[in-house]
Structure 1
């Protein structure tokens, strides 16, 4: 029960008045006073319990009202209640913020004054309809804010009736300015896309899942495939516009499905494809598939470019390159043959000159030595000065003989007439004698059966390598390894000199190696060079022991 005495007295007075107007109850017999007091005490407890329940209910209602007011005020949309005369009766904080005004200043204002003038008649018709029919109405209006700017809004209104029969209108107001701006931009973008799509010089089509049939095509597509209308191309797949098989032998349907899967997985895919026009003529094309999404729908934008002319040009270029490579190979082979022929002629010339020098000069020197001996025998005893002179002449003849032998050996070593192995051994000895450096020949071969041209060419290669070692390597030791392996002759010249960077070798420095490679190529062989700065150089020459039938 209430603890307020004044409130208790007031309620009692009201109860006394109501009791005075009630019909007194009929007596049902005499009851003991204790029973009456007990019953009154029970009633008192019941009333106190009811009063406590009412208090809890009141608190719950107040909390619910507070939550409602919080949700009402801070709802993401503006909430207005208008009288049937269109005056603002209630507004939440969001609604006031949308109009940029204080909530208290909005009360009893006409809602119409915030509507742009050109839409006010429309507003009156819509609100009147809502009041008369009692139906929910949904429409859009542009409202004027306190700073003079306008916003686009969506209005949702519904008529409400109080228990006293008074009508009002509840309005939910949503700011859709950004939404309309985005929608306008999307519409403009869609228009630009449509213009680009239709006026593109490339054939453009769209493919849609799950059947992956064409759903649209531009004018360039019709011209490319020889179609008269878009309907001829829609509802069919890319394999229907292709020969049954692609140039690689795969079925067009299977390969097209694979290309589509790649584009969907990676976002785009560029590849070459063979299409077929309506007249049955096939043409090469370059196709690009781009995955796109519009209105939550996924499709593939297909760009097709006819590359038949490019393919023809590429084929011509390829054929020209092949022909050029063939001519280059033939020219190189001819140059090698000419170089080989020239080398053979030089060797023949060296051989001839060596023979002439040996025979002619040798005979002359021998005759001079015989004449000097005759002079010594005939006049030497009577003339000591003559003997001294002839001795000096003999010394000069010995020097001339040695020079002749050196010239003959350089032009045509006589060891070559014995065989390649002795000739290379002679080169080692000559290298050591002239440079003072060690040169050792390692071989188990006593004789290698080669034709004269090959023997001379390999001899000259080894001679050139030893010359390079003497000039550039600064080596102390040189080893030559000679062996036969599976019908090939392997010659390795290795030194412990300063080495060099094979990648950084200049043109002038590489001329010697280039000449060696050309000699080996002329013999159908090859040269392998291994070198590191500070770690010496190894040059391996591999040539067949016998010429091929083509060379022979």
Structure 2
């Protein structure tokens, strides 16, 4: 091989080595680029998975529409919002889910997001599978392909049904309130925290008797419209509500000369910021309402009195019937038994048992007469209240208990029903003292003045009036209170442990 061929061979070898080195470098670079591309693909896949998770789990409905308005994709929230399965929504025109009255709104919205590279919004009324109405706030933007003419529209739907219905209810409530204010003689007022003024509407000028042209909203000018008896209390109450941001709910009288007027003032705080704070509410004329309530209460009390009186009269009639039955029936039979026993020959019978039988018969006669007296004492009808009260004191007195009676001012007989009621009250109080007081002395005083005063006192164990509900349950005073109420009376109880008890009853005016 010549030298020229050797040089050429060496040159080719050097070039081959250089080319080999370059290929090796390119191989390394390609491997590095391949690793970088693989990592990029992995990161992209992670981002895709993350985006898919966010897309599917988002509480907002997401839709991807093509440029014709056909749904390409929808997330779970979107299908739940429309109440359709995803397979039904996809490949279907989004407009088919929109109420007829809102199709033009969606058409303009869809046209704008395709033609303008910015986000747009609107509100739509959607129809679900069950034909229910859903109000949605719609946000959308169009994404144009870089290398293609493809346009995808990304739509987000937020369910605002509750908010929309709340606004509608608020509008209805506002209309009703305006109608109610007109019909109920009520007006609105507002306290301005910045100026300290109370602003009134036209209705309140008339309700409060304030001259519209003279009133400038001054707080003290408003107070002058309030009746002097209520002015100080209302002033203190309003200042407390204003300073402590409390709700206003108060009733007071207006200083009107033509006719009495009672109003109800209510209000609540509206605070958007520290600099924008107001106290607003209503003032309503409740004079007629209060008058009707008072009349209804009087009628109710009178009705209760009539019912109680009817019950007591029925009870008295039944007591008299039972008493007459005891006196005319049982007592007469016992008297007959006693007479027959007296005719028996003592020689034929053992004198001891016979005397015992006679004693038991005498005791039975006495007990029957006492029961008859307690039920309906005929002495009350024949001789009046004074003798009857003295008789009950004598009958119920024992060796261990003395009952002292005093009746004054009853120079003329009262109506029999009144005398029966007074006797029942005295009887109930004496029985209470006997059962609960453990007393040795009971004093009964009845005095006739304009009304009738009944005082029953004892020297018994007494009780603590702080826990008065407990003993009263067992003292049978509810019926007594009913009797007192019939005569528009009052009852007072004064008692201390170890100091005895005194019950005073004052009945209203009673004519002879």
Q: TM-score, normalised by structure 1?
A: 0.44
The structure whose Rg is larger is 1
Q: TM-score, normalised by structure 2?
A: 0.47
Higher relative contact order (CA 8 A, sep 6+): 2
